[in-house]
Amino acid sequence: MGSCGIHTKGKWVKGKKAVLATVLVIVFQGTEKVGIYDDQPAASAALWSFVDAHWDEAHHGPAPATRSETQLNLFFAGEGDSYVMAEADLGEAAQALGSPL
């Protein structure tokens, strides 16, 4: 499994603290990378940073000048390559681990 970074912020919801975060999972060329971010813009920035760092001009040609869903589809077109970005409440997990989040 690849690296994992944790960046979260907590909010109170219905008497208990919700730890809302955006989870980004990238599967690329057989390697998995998981990151947890404060919000969707931070996760999106991490996704684009990954794409930029791994863009292979020999395979995909020059990177497009502007970022788009088409560019993401081209980048993740390989068999088994994909990404998922979703908001999650990590409050219960944090409590189970004894975290002060």
Give per-residue pLDDT as tens, 15-58. Answer: 566 788 999 999 999 999 999 999 999 999 999 999 999 998 66
pLDDT greater at residue 35 or residue 94 = 35
Would you state the pLDDT for residue 8? 45
| Annotated domain spans of the chain | 9-96
Query: Which are the contacts of 12, defined by CB distance < 8 A and separation ≥ 6?
Result: 18
d(CA 56, CA 43): 22
d(CA 75, CA 77): 6
